[in-house]
Amino acid sequence: MSERQFIPVRFAVLTVSDTRSLADDKSGQTLAERIKEAGHELADRSIAPDEIRHIRSLVRAWCADPGIDAVITTGGTGFTGRDVTPEALEPLFEKRMDGFSQVFHRISFEKIGTSTIQSRATAGLIDQTFVFVLPGSPGACRDAWDSILKDQFDYRHKPCNFVEIMPRLDEHLKRGATSR
């Protein structure tokens, strides 16, 4: 049996913030750099204000786009009044990925201790597209990518990974049998 070949995945990155721009968005930049360094494609990157309708609108459009395989958001996962990213996206999840939050918090606990409980990091599928909701700090983005997402989006990772199940998520309707 031959060794598996790397398959690039197309990501969109959304920073949720009322105060950031692309020029000073360290968390979004951290994700964008890591995505590209891993050999994947950054299909789109944007910033949205901490407003449910803006977040939903952009993420829904990305999830409907056949040129985007996964969405990562950063920001809006805390407990203040403007932190609404989980409220915007969790109702859209067709399937929740509870394990992502659990593993993320375990990794985060090792670095920041009990402060990890102040994050409502979550993940799931919207329109059969992977969506990850991360805290708005570069450290949290590094931890999530380096310790979880990098391996799960590498087709060579065993025993299993997201890339190998992507064509089966929607019975080839979105990605097509020949795109992988």
Q: Contact 44/31 with Cβ under 8 angstroms? A: no
For tokens 């609108």, name the residue. 57
- How is the chain split into domains, by residue range? 10-167
How many whole angstroms separate alpha carbon 180 and alpha carbon 175?
8
Task: Assign 175 a pLDDT band (cuts: 50, 70, 90).
Answer: very low
For tokens 């979105």, name the residue. 174
Q: Contact 143/108 with Cβ under 8 angstroms? A: yes
pLDDT in tens, 106-139: 999 999 999 999 999 999 999 999 999 999 999 9
pLDDT in tens, 2-50: 588 999 999 999 999 999 999 999 999 999 999 999 999 999 999 999 9
Q: Determine how β-strand 95-96 pairs with β-strand 129-134.
A: unpaired
Give 10-167's CATH code, choosing from 3.90.1150.10, 3.30.200.20, 3.80.30.20, 3.40.980.10.
3.40.980.10
Residues 53-90: b if buried by 16+ CB within 10 A, e if exposed: ebbbebbbebbebeebbbbbbbbbbeeeeebbbbebbb
Measured at the alpha carbon of residue 103, what is the angle toward residues 100 and 104, in degrees to the nearest 5? 80
The pLDDT of residue 171 is 55
pLDDT in tens, 64-78: 999 999 999 999 999
Q: What is the CA radius of gyration of the chain?
A: 16
